[in-house]
Chains A and B, each alone.
Chain A
Amino acid sequence: MSFKAAISRLNRLPLIQKEYNFLTSVNHNAERQLNESSKSAVHYPLKNLLCAIKDNIATSDLPTTCASKVLENYTSPFNATIVDLLKTAGAVSIGKTNLDEFGMGSGGTNSHFGATRNPLFPQQDFIVGGSSSGSAAAVAADVVDFSIGTDTGGSVRLPAAFTSIYGFKPSYGRISRYGVVAYAQSLDTVGIMSKSLDTIEKVFEVLNKSDQKDPTCLDDGIRSRLHTSSKLKGKLRVGLPLEFTPNGIPKELQVKLLKVLENIQERGHEIFPVSIPDIKNSLPIYYTLATAEAASNLSRYDGVRYGMRELGSDIIEDILYAPTRAHLGQEVKNRIVLGNHNLSSESFNNHYIKAQKLRVKLIDEFDHIFKCSNVLTGSEGNEQGVDVLLCLSSIGKPIPITKYNNATSKDPINCYINDIFTTPISLAGLPAISIPTGPSETVGVQLVGQFGDDFTVLRAAREISKNIITT
């Protein structure tokens, strides 16, 4: 990317922002920073690249709001590790991107700053998908080269599919979460979104580092046992999970998936039907664990030390901070209530512990499918196993915001269904990438690899996109 192109993108920013509402705050120093890094003699790996950072990632120069009223005026005194890594690599941020409040949502509509609109549907007010809605829109609208999102149950992959871009969620623990505001940290993963696989690989190289500040970030000991490049040679062995081909998927999406499969076969790769029965439990497991962790993580937003505080007495019926916490959005409140229910002494052993056990069982089933070993579980890998799994990224396509809001207000479960293909992968911490099925096509397919086998996923993505783009 040239310096000139970057400047011209920056100039378009105000107009695009007005159109799609994808930023929560703008970096007004972007042009100066771009100038500095461009003129520097240092060889920056991400020189002249513009990026956007999801607004649940701490930055000291711009607010970190998580698109929530309770953090509306909050600016972090420190940068997230990844923000510093990107800066050091020469990338320039244009600002912070809109999201579903605290990452909770699949539409990109639960934001204190209003819904993000999909750049592929100008003047039509379509959803981008969430929760990394602004990050996806920034890439789709061509104002950045890449953006940083977070993916807890599909929040990078779903909006990537809805905006026809790549959305890469690496293995859990590959990228530091220090400075990433926790939603459900046993699942939270930093992801990279772009229209270019080259860019995704370059950015991943910059961010794929151990971090002393994050106890869940893979340490150098474990990293040394992971592949540093793809061991893939020759033909790909692609698994097609039977559980990911349920009835009720719109015909149009089925056709897209079949077309991808045909292309893969034509190139001489092999496709195997595989079965992971516990995938059917994924949504209940996910919404038990994620909401419990969320309820716990969000209890710090009491307004005592930072953020907004309700004036006057902050107690309702002996419940401390109830008035302040009433300012959280409805979906966030729903999940806190659900999470607290799951953690309550009556249901903890029934719900939370059971969900944890089922999660382990699910990981075990994934281990049986892959050829590659799993350094975390000690699974040695299945000789007859597959290199990657392939499935759709979503069960639907983007719809108008009003329609989406009506459907979810009628039945909140509606928006949870969108996560059906993405949550099992998150629960197992596997690397996955959503790939568009064609230019401006808002249906994506996901490629999924064994834990730590991120480079095989990227390599396979390159192989499969080649087919898609040419057809």
Chain B
Amino acid sequence: MLRFTRHYVSTVGHKEFRLLPDFQLKCGLEIHTQLNTRNKLFSRSTNDPFDSYNAPNYHTSFFDVALPGTLPKLNYEAILYATRLAVALNSEVSSCSQFDRKHYFYGDQPLGYQITQHYNPFSKGGFIELTKALDGIHQERLHIDILQLQIEQDTGKSIYKETDQTSLIDLNRSNVPLIEMVTLPNFSDLKQIHSFIKKYQNLVRHLGISTGDLETGAMRVDVNMSVNDFCRVELKNLPNTSSIMRAVEFEYKRQVDIIRSGDAAKLLKYSETRGWNGSQTVKLRSKETTIDYRYMPDPELPCITLSAEAVKGVKESLPILPDKILHRLMASPYDLSLKDAKILAINANGHDQQYNQGELLNFYIETFAQYTALVGSSFNAKLPTNWIIHELLGNLNKLEFPLSSALIALPPSNFAELLNLIHAKKISSASAKLLLFHILEAAKRSDVVEPVNLQELIANFELDAIQEVDPEELRNICLQIISEVNSPKLLEGIASGKKKGPLKYLVGQGMRLSQGRIKPQLFEDTFKQLLGVEW
């Protein structure tokens, strides 16, 4: 059943979705982001909303479960995180923002209200810039304006058990700090929405304030959308990027159909909230059933007053923002492709990754600097890229060995030395690969890891490229390979030039036998000579 539904959905979703010129899409986003502070927003409980499976209701204080007589205690770490985000988004931090209570009853809402910011939000204004070059949108550049950022509590979690008609409540998530970011309706196509979500997600990860994961609910995206300026529909319960995209597509088509049928004045008159059930948007609430939240300024929480100097201090402490890093990496001397630059600058999901972006980027920059210092102006920018992004990371993932530990064995100076040896052809590429893998594997196995001595290792394993090859010995190796091939037809093909390909095979055999220590060019020349190659 589930398979069938999914199959059905994916065919619908991928059936050439296109915006229609006569039907203008207008979207805004509301993104809730859990802050990964150590403690909760108004209590000292550990902030670990995902511990539910092991220990539901474990990370709860007297305040989190709303015991009589408890009082909120503002966690200033959350304010620091919010300030980082506000500054990174060019949003103006209010000199005095306030908390308000939003009232509604729900089983996983212990206070009977959520503490949020309604009247005086934490910051106002700001923007994120999307560009064709970095974000792949269709326009050259687009500013997405931000209305405001507000700090609020997350609610608990309810799990409804159909079998015995009960709800299970887990309050580990209750009172976890959230930032709600609201954009203006500046989006007019899906690519923009997709790029914005990715960019915002990377930003919160880059600032170290959230895991930014949609799948776990650490980040939740609601979409406000309208077509041809009819009434706004809010889309909620969108668990991942593909649901967001498919829900917008579905809802666009739904509204277009309504407008085409002439019922828009009736059916798109009032704003409503719709959810996503995996295949279509479904009505959750309309205006008539809207709850009056009876917002009230919280009478016991103080105003958050931040001086201009404090905000300035946070601004100065921010890491360089991702766009700037990308631009830098894509320019000289690094000259990285966008794809490679993103590997260094953009945080992926982060859970099964053996490194964090900051340490990888630092390692790259530092190694690059030391490598160019060693080789001078003849440096090859592709060498550090290939060896760090492809070889090193590939090996770390294969070995499940974290970069931070690998760096003890291979600090930038050692890695730059390795690059230098490859650059100077003192060690062949094949040998270098073996050596790198060996170093990492040994480091993983060892209790005490220390920087490796490359020269010593190379000597021990006799990996250094043989500088003076005895021509006689080389001839003998090649003859041995030719005799083992034992296929006159293949050899004739090579000689006549009708089938050149197998020559590479012979060279490969030679490399294998010499453990990569003899340059492939030497093998190729010798084979050509021995086989009387005419081309």
| A and B associate | yes
> Is there a chain A Cβ closer than 8 Å to B363's Cβ?
no
Q: Given known contacts A300-B110, A345-B292, is B69 in contact with A180 (CB within 8 Å)?
A: yes
In angstroms, how far is the closest chain A Cβ from the Cβ of B302?
6
> Is there a chain A Cβ closer than 8 Å to B58's Cβ?
no
> Is there a chain A Cβ closer than 8 Å to B523's Cβ?
no
Structural contact, A320 and B67, CB atoms closer than 8 A: no
Q: CB-CB contacts of A56-80 with B at 8 A, as 1s and 0s? A: 0110000010100001001011101
Structural contact, B295 and A343, CB atoms closer than 8 A: yes
> Is there a chain A Cβ closer than 8 Å to B374's Cβ?
no
Alpha-carbon separation in the docked complex, A185 to B69 (Å): 10
In angstroms, how far is the closest chain B Cβ from the Cβ of A327?
16
- Name the contact of B302 in the complex, choosing from A78, A215, A320, A345 (C-beta under 8 A): A215
Alpha-carbon separation in the docked complex, A80 to B68 (Å): 10
Alpha-carbon separation in the docked complex, A375 to B110 (Å): 36
Query: Across the interface, which residues of B come within 8 angstroms of A57, CB to CB?
Result: 69
Query: Across the interface, which residues of B come within 8 angstroms of A298, CB to CB?
Result: 112
Query: Across the interface, which residues of A come within 8 angstroms of B302, CB to CB?
Result: 215
Structural contact, A320 and B301, CB atoms closer than 8 A: no
Query: Across the interface, which residues of A come within 8 angstroms of B113, CB to CB?
Result: 296, 299
> Is there a chain A Cβ closer than 8 Å to B103's Cβ?
yes
Alpha-carbon separation in the docked complex, A330 to B169 (Å): 31
> Is there a chain A Cβ closer than 8 Å to B530's Cβ?
no
- Name the contact of A305 in the complex, choosing from B71, B110, B300, B301 (C-beta under 8 A): B110
- Name the contact of B294 in the complex, choosing from A66, A212, A344 (C-beta under 8 A): A344
In angstroms, how far is the closest chain A Cβ from the Cβ of B284?
14
In angstroms, how far is the closest chain A Cβ from the Cβ of B54?
21
Query: Across the interface, which residues of A come within 8 angstroms of B103, CB to CB?
Result: 296, 299, 343
Alpha-carbon separation in the docked complex, A295 to B62 (Å): 21
Q: Given known contacts A299-B111, A343-B103, is B299 in contact with A181 (CB within 8 Å)?
A: no
> Is there a chain B Cβ closer than 8 Å to A340's Cβ?
yes
Alpha-carbon separation in the docked complex, A215 to B303 (Å): 11
- Name the contact of B112 in the complex, choosing from A58, A215, A293, A302 (C-beta under 8 A): A302
Q: Given known contacts A213-B73, A215-B74, A296-B113, is B296 in contact with A320 (CB within 8 Å)?
A: no
Alpha-carbon separation in the docked complex, A299 to B8 (Å): 45
Structural contact, A292 and B296, CB atoms closer than 8 A: yes
Alpha-carbon separation in the docked complex, A300 to B62 (Å): 13
> Is there a chain A Cβ closer than 8 Å to B268's Cβ?
no
Structural contact, A186 and B110, CB atoms closer than 8 A: no
Q: Given known contacts A216-B300, A302-B112, is B105 in contact with A77 (CB within 8 Å)?
A: no
Alpha-carbon separation in the docked complex, A344 to B294 (Å): 5
> Is there a chain B Cβ closer than 8 Å to A272's Cβ?
no
> Is there a chain A Cβ closer than 8 Å to B342's Cβ?
no
- Name the contact of A64 in the complex, choosing from B66, B68, B71, B73 (C-beta under 8 A): B68
B60 and chain A: residue at smallest CB distance: A305
List A200-255 residues whose CB lies under 8 Å from chain B. 212-216
Alpha-carbon separation in the docked complex, A162 to B387 (Å): 87
B294 and chain A: residue at smallest CB distance: A343
> Is there a chain A Cβ closer than 8 Å to B452's Cβ?
no
In angstroms, how far is the closest chain A Cβ from the Cβ of B65?
5
A347 and chain B: residue at smallest CB distance: B294
In angstroms, how far is the closest chain B Cβ from the Cβ of A84?
13
Query: Across the interface, which residues of A come within 8 angstroms of B101, CB to CB?
Result: 296
Alpha-carbon separation in the docked complex, A403 to B294 (Å): 37
Structural contact, A58 and B69, CB atoms closer than 8 A: yes
> Is there a chain A Cβ closer than 8 Å to B493's Cβ?
no
Structural contact, A305 and B299, CB atoms closer than 8 A: no
Q: CB-CB contacts of A73-100 with B at 8 A, as 1s and 0s? A: 0101110100000000000000000000
Structural contact, A215 and B73, CB atoms closer than 8 A: yes
> Is there a chain B Cβ closer than 8 Å to A179's Cβ?
yes
Q: CB-CB contacts of A31-70 with B at 8 A, as 1s and 0s? A: 0000000000000000000000000011000001010000
Query: Across the interface, which residues of B come within 8 angstroms of A195, CB to CB?
Result: none
B301 and chain A: residue at smallest CB distance: A215
In angstroms, how far is the closest chain A Cβ from the Cβ of B276?
24
> Is there a chain A Cβ closer than 8 Å to B17's Cβ?
no
> Is there a chain A Cβ closer than 8 Å to B72's Cβ?
yes
Structural contact, B69 and A306, CB atoms closer than 8 A: no
Alpha-carbon separation in the docked complex, A348 to B100 (Å): 13
Query: Across the interface, which residues of A come within 8 angstroms of B110, CB to CB?
Result: 300, 304-305
Q: Given known contacts A300-B110, A343-B103, is B296 in contact with A58 (CB within 8 Å)?
A: no
- Name the contact of B71 in the complex, choosing from A77, A215, A292 (C-beta under 8 A): A215
In angstroms, how far is the closest chain A Cβ from the Cβ of B161?
16
List A294-325 residues whose CB lies under 8 Å from chain B. 295-296, 298-300, 302, 304-306, 319-321
Alpha-carbon separation in the docked complex, A340 to B104 (Å): 12
> Is there a chain A Cβ closer than 8 Å to B107's Cβ?
yes
Candidate in B66, B67, B293, B295 with the most chain A CB atoms within 10 angstroms = B67
A345 and chain B: residue at smallest CB distance: B292
> Is there a chain A Cβ closer than 8 Å to B270's Cβ?
no
Structural contact, A76 and B71, CB atoms closer than 8 A: no
Alpha-carbon separation in the docked complex, A292 to B100 (Å): 13
Structural contact, B107 and A306, CB atoms closer than 8 A: no
Query: Across the interface, which residues of B come within 8 angstroms of A299, CB to CB?
Result: 103, 105, 111-113
Query: Across the interface, which residues of B come within 8 angstroms of A78, CB to CB?
Result: 62, 67, 69
A293 and chain B: residue at smallest CB distance: B299
Interface residues of chain A, those whose CB is within 8 Å of chain B, are 57-58, 64, 66, 71, 74, 76-78, 80, 177-182, 184-186, 212-216, 292-293, 295-296, 298-300, 302, 304-306, 319-321, 340, 343-345, 348, 352, 356
Task: Give me 11 other A-B pairs in contact (C-beta within 8 A), A177-B71, A182-B68, A215-B73 excluded.
Answer: A58-B68, A74-B68, A178-B69, A178-B70, A184-B299, A296-B294, A299-B105, A300-B68, A304-B169, A305-B110, A348-B296
Write 20 A-B pairs (CB below 8 A) sorted by A numbering.
Answer: A58-B67, A76-B67, A78-B67, A182-B68, A182-B69, A182-B300, A186-B299, A216-B300, A293-B299, A296-B103, A296-B112, A296-B294, A296-B296, A299-B111, A299-B112, A300-B66, A304-B169, A320-B105, A321-B105, A343-B295
Interface residues of chain B, those whose CB is within 8 Å of chain A, are 62, 65-74, 101, 103, 105-107, 110-113, 169, 292-297, 299-302
